[in-house]
């Protein structure tokens, strides 16, 4: 350790402020870090501090058999910054006098967000993400390694999602991440972060492969079941230079905006294996072949079961899966239920739980596939309520149109257009009505309607029912159903990325920046699921958001100690956790440091 002067101009004069600095060797070579800011010091105090620093270095150099270690300037108690008056200095200089701290003037400054960034870096260390980033993004001539810039982007997305400009101008300087990573605030600006996105994107495949292997080892995951689903996320702006930005079916109810589609593959517990970004107007059914071949080229075919919802199903995709010897469990269109009407009427159902029944059956036209009929009471009540709502809307709308026809002479074509628009807005119940539009002799139109009882009977029979198909022949109906229900993990992954990690909306306009933004969200989701698995192991459920919010309240502060000599000693510390926070940290196997020191990532 040694003391270093830091000069600054104040009132036109040059003042010296002193800092206690420690040298250490990290993976990137020799480094220095500030242990404490000491303020303006007189000669006696400087000698005392130097003596304490020299003593600390001497203790660090002792053999381990002596039980010595490098000690802090303020250990074990803080009563002064000098040595004992009776101690004779070895070099003949004057001995420093003890300086007492004035407790009435002790204060704290520079309160920074510590808990979130620290927790994120602990997850990074557990996962080994920093090693992966260093391997794929080796250091060059840049001031800040691109691997650290990528970590800043991922940690910020995990803790408090915002734009790169907001990270550089607000979040980074208000967090403890500069101290934890050893990257000064003035080295992080929006330009460096944007360039970090550009440097990160080419390593997408290598990152996905390495993360999948590390997650498998860390949590002993089984990748025999792959869940695939597609979502969309929309743009703010025209994105005219981005060919992927197209208008299509919006899952976000933003048909007014361009979008991209994202296909995500996760394990049965929701751990991500990889993803693909498609044009916003690409149909879900056309993405299956590409995503399956991509995953198999990376991880092999093995004996996996693919699970997809009915939006991915086409006869061409089923044939593709069969040709490669792949096993699958997929949903089917609602219209296919009609062929199983007799099975719906039969009573041989297997009750999985209260309100849920399933049964195995074969297709009436034959074939080797197994079909799973499912009937849910909760789903039936929901569909009944929806049908009743749409029926009521149609009847009220038809009554208004009829009343208008009786008062005025409306052309049949215009009346038909109004009826078609009404039925189009309420398609779930449109088939339950037979509407007749007839011209009158006086030039007006007569409107009448009846209920289609046959279609109504079928609607009531099929409410709450859905159909699955699979070529897995050695599983029970319950195993097949429970496996298909695991698709909720993929849906939850999209929900977390869109809400908690702010995947949407996308503000970037360039294609590569859009792809890099999605990659950062993917890596942040990996940290999210890692925390979720740690919580599950610790018996804390699967609520990473609650744990992150609880630990987010931890702060780092500068403790300022005014002395009787008129000088100030400054030390950066971490606030003590509350009882609840301590319990969380203990269950997660995390140890909160008392003093803020840089992490060697």
463-493 residue pLDDT tens: 999 999 999 988 999 999 999 999 999 999 9
Determine what percent of the chain is predicted with pLDDT higher than 70. 89
225-262 pLDDT tens trace: 999 999 999 999 999 989 999 999 999 999 999 999 99
Q: DSSP for 109-163?
A: EEEEE-HHHHHHHHHHHHHTHHHHHHHHS---S-SS-HHHHHHHHHHHHHHS---
318-345 pLDDT tens trace: 999 998 889 999 999 988 999 999 998 8
* Separation of alpha carbons 552 and 167, rounded Å: 17
Average pLDDT over residues 129-158: 94
Q: Residue 598: which pLDDT band, with cuts at 50, 70 and 90? A: low
Asked whether the predicted pLDDT for residue 438 surpasses 60, the reply is: yes
Phi, psi of 468 (to 5 degrees): -115, 155
555-570 pLDDT tens trace: 999 888 888 778 888 8
Local structure of residue 571 (DSSP, 8 states): E
Q: What is the pLDDT of residue 284?
A: 94
Beta strands in 267-324 (DSSP E): 272-279, 305-308
Q: What is the pLDDT of residue 55?
A: 57
For the chain, give the longest Cα–Cα distance.
124
Sequence length of the chain is 601
* Separation of alpha carbons 282 and 554, rounded Å: 45
Nearest-5° Cα angle at 52, 51 to 55: 85
Average pLDDT over residues 207-224: 91
E strand or H helix at 544: helix 544-551
* Separation of alpha carbons 292 and 295, rounded Å: 5
| H helices present in 426-510, as ranges | 427-430, 453-462, 477-485, 487-499
Structure tokens at 72: 């802090």
Please classify residue 159 by burial: count the beta carbons closer than 10 Å to its beta carbon, then call 0-12 exposed, 13-18 middle and 19+ buried.
Answer: buried
Please report where in the chains the tokens 């808990």 appear, as a residue: 115
Q: Residue 89: which pLDDT band, with cuts at 50, 70 and 90? A: very low
Q: What is the pLDDT of residue 58?
A: 54
Asked whether the predicted pLDDT for residue 74 surpasses 50, the reply is: no
Asked whether the predicted pLDDT for residue 189 surpasses 80, the reply is: yes
Q: Is residue 44 within 8 Å of 96, Cβ to Cβ?
A: yes
pTM flag (> 0.85)? no
**Closest CA relative to residue 245, chosen from 253, 233, 254:** 233
Q: Residue 428: which pLDDT band, with cuts at 50, 70 and 90? A: confident
CA 424 to chain CA centroid, nearest Å: 37
Determine what percent of the chain is predicted with pLDDT higher than 90. 61
Asked whether the predicted pLDDT for residue 82 surpasses 50, the reply is: no
Q: What is the pLDDT of residue 87?
A: 42
Provide the β-strand partners of residue 447: 437
348-406 pLDDT tens trace: 899 998 899 999 999 888 888 999 999 999 999 999 999 999 999 999 999 999 999 98
pLDDT averaged over every residue in the chain = 86
Local structure of residue 89 (DSSP, 8 states): P
Q: Is residue 466 within 8 Å of 343, Cβ to Cβ?
A: no
């Amino acid at each position: 350790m040694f003391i270093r002067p830091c000069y600054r101009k104040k009132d036109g004069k040059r003042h010296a402020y002193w800092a206690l600095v420690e040298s250490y060797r990290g993976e990137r070579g020799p480094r220095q870090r500030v242990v404490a800011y000491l303020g303006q010091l007189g000669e006696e105090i400087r000698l005392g501090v130097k003596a304490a620093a020299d003593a600390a270095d001497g203790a660090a150099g002792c053999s381990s058999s002596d039980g010595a270690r490098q000690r802090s300037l303020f250990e074990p108690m803080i009563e002064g910054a000098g040595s004992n008056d009776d101690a004779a200095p070895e070099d003949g200089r004057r001995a420093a006098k003890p300086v007492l701290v004035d407790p009435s003037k002790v204060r704290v400054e520079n309160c920074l967000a510590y808990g979130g960034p620290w927790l994120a870096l602990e997850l990074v260390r557990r996962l080994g993400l920093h090693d992966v980033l260093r391997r794929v993004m080796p250091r060059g001539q840049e001031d800040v390694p691109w691997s650290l810039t990528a970590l800043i982007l991922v940690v910020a997305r995990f803790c408090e999602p915002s734009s790169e400009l907001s990270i550089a101008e607000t979040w980074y300087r208000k967090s403890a991440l500069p101290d934890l990573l050893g990257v000064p605030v003035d080295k992080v600006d929006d330009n460096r972060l944007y360039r970090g996105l550009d440097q990160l994107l080419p390593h997408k495949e290598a990152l996905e492969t390495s993360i999948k292997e590390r997650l498998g080892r860390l949590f002993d995951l089984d990748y025999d079941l792959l869940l695939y689903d597609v979502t969309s996320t929309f743009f703010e702006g025209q994105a005219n230079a981005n060919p992927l930005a197209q208008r299509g079916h919006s899952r976000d109810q933003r048909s007014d905006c361009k979008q991209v589609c994202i296909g995500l593959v996760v394990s049965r517990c929701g751990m991500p294996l990889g993803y693909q970004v498609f044009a916003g107007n690409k149909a879900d059914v056309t993405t299956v072949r590409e995503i399956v071949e991509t995953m198999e080229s990376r991880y092999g075919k093995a004996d996996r079961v693919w699970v997809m919802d009915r939006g991915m199903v086409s006869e061409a995709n089923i044939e593709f899966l069969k040709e490669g010897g792949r096993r699958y469990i997929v949903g089917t269109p609602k219209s296919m239920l009609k062929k199983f009407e007799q099975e719906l009427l039969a009573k041989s159902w297997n009750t999985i739980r209260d309100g849920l029944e399933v049964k195995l059956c074969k297709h009436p036209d034959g074939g080797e596939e197994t079909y799973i009929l499912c009937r849910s009471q909760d789903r039936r009540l929901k569909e009944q309520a929806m049908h009743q709502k749409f029926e009521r809307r149609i009847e009220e709308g038809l009554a208004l149109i009829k009343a208008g026809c009786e008062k005025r002479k409306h052309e049949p074509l215009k009346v038909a257009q109004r009826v078609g628009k009404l039925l189009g807005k309420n398609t779930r119940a449109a088939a339950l009505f037979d509407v007749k539009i007839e011209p009158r002799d006086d030039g007006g139109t007569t409107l009448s309607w009846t209920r289609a009882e046959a279609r109504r009977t079928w609607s009531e029979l099929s409410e709450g029912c859905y159909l699955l198909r699979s070529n897995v022949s050695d599983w029970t109906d319950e195993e097949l159903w429970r496996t298909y229900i695991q698709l909720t993990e993929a849906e939850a992954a999209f929900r977390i990325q869109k809400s908690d990690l702010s995947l949407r909306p996308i503000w970037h306009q360039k294609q590569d920046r859009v792809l890099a933004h999605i990659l950062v969200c993917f890596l942040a989701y990996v940290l999210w699921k890692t925390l979720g698995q740690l919580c599950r192991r610790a018996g804390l459920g699967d609520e990473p958001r609650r744990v992150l919010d609880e630990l987010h309240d931890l702060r780092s502060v500068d403790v300022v100690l005014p002395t009787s000599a008129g000088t100030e000693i400054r030390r950066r510390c971490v606030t003590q956790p509350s009882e609840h926070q301590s319990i969380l940290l203990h269950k997660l196997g995390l140890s909160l440091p008392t003093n803020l020191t840089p992490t060697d990532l």
